[in-house]
Homo-oligomer: A and B are copies of this chain.
């Protein structure tokens, strides 16, 4: 397979052409799920896929599947894909890269008149971002049986419009049932973090997606005048919150190298310059790809909070508001990515996905793997999100190699093509 190359220039041009739909002044993209701009992006993809000879199906959650037949149509397809909807101030690569890298795989197979054993499909999952309609990844979630179809179709935006209504409106309320057999699923994505670029690695072989635990904490002390209140008798909720912020950071560092622990949101009350804060609300985000370690981090957090509360004579209300289990990607798929990377000779490292992706839900119903490429300064969810053409091409190269390995698995075609 090492003599098959994707067309990097064609892929880059397609990315830039798609980026014109919903382009923002700062060079990014605003193409919210199920808006007219989303429709235009979908239409463009469908046009390209048809030009590439694919058959198109759309399921009832608006997920689009562009199918290239294989020698054996009854085998479950080897699938790739991602999403075309964006953040309000999103970038040109987040999600789009995975879709168009998949399209480039199909175009390359066409160039070579290459027949795979199993069919190959490129999927466009509806509303991955969860920006206009919460929650994120809802359509791949319905596909994987995590959510009911009714739940998915009834998700509403701030104006009360539902996903079902908007799918009808833009003409993507398909009739295919949601969910079908998938032989293997691969997703190429920008890393959205700084590791690959910092280490000079072109490819991230994604072994896991992190599990996450999110908490809300209300710390209560005693509001008092900053002037006449002696230090030792204070019950300062902000001082307590500050100690917990440091404890959270320590939990992240103590569970290195892949643990993440963050306090992102904090509200201080009464938030007056000369009043000792009597109440603080804040959130905690813990992540680790190993569920046992994530549970250990939860215990460490609760112990740290208990200590701060006792020390400061405070009260704490601690609520874990959600939990996503870590997702280990299937060994065969991970190895397919590894082999394709080695065959192409790209610098690489194993990596854990810090963010959630449609692949995380697909992993529940099919062997799944992910491929990361670097992004500039690790920036994403930001209009200045950017990636180098050579990284974009490399990721698509690896995607092609991994997909071919699984699409030809068990056939002689793998040996023939090598």
Could you tell me which A residues sit within 8 Å of B by CB distance?
191-195, 198, 210, 212, 214, 224-233, 236, 238-239, 241-243, 245-246, 249, 252-253, 256-268, 271-277, 283, 285, 287, 353-356, 378-381
Closest 7 CB pairs of A and B: A193-B228, A228-B354, A227-B354, A242-B245, A242-B242, A226-B262, A231-B252
Q: A266: which B residues are within 8 A, CB to CB?
A: 238, 266, 268, 271
Query: A225-B380, A228-B193, A233-B194 are contacts. A264–B253 as well, Cβ < 8 Å?
Result: no
Q: A225: which B residues are within 8 A, CB to CB?
A: 192-193, 354-355, 378, 380-381
Residue contact A226 to B285, C-beta cutoff 8 Å: yes
- Closest Cβ of chain B: how far from A248's Cβ, in Å? 9
Q: A261: which B residues are within 8 A, CB to CB?
A: 231
* Distance between Cα atoms of A362 and B10 in the complex (Å): 82
Contact residue among B224, B260, B379 (Cβ-Cβ distance under 8 Å from A378) = B224
Task: Tell me the nearest residue of chain B to A254, going by C-beta.
Answer: B231
Query: A236-B249, A238-B266, A239-B249 are contacts. A229–B260 as well, Cβ < 8 Å?
Result: yes
* Distance between Cα atoms of A245 and B353 in the complex (Å): 33
Residue contact B264 to A273, C-beta cutoff 8 Å: yes
Q: A239: which B residues are within 8 A, CB to CB?
A: 245-246, 249, 263
Contact residue among B193, B227, B256, B264 (Cβ-Cβ distance under 8 Å from A260) = B227
Residue contact B264 to A227, C-beta cutoff 8 Å: no
Q: A263: which B residues are within 8 A, CB to CB?
A: 238-239, 277
* Distance between Cα atoms of A228 and B189 in the complex (Å): 13
Task: Tell me the nearest residue of chain B to A382, going by C-beta.
Answer: B223
Task: Tell me the nearest residue of chain B to A244, going by C-beta.
Answer: B242
Contact residue among B195, B228, B354 (Cβ-Cβ distance under 8 Å from A353) = B228
- Closest Cβ of chain B: how far from A263's Cβ, in Å? 6
Q: A243: which B residues are within 8 A, CB to CB?
A: 242, 246
Query: A192-B228, A228-B378 are contacts. A265–B268 as well, Cβ < 8 Å?
Result: yes
- Closest Cβ of chain B: how far from A345's Cβ, in Å? 26
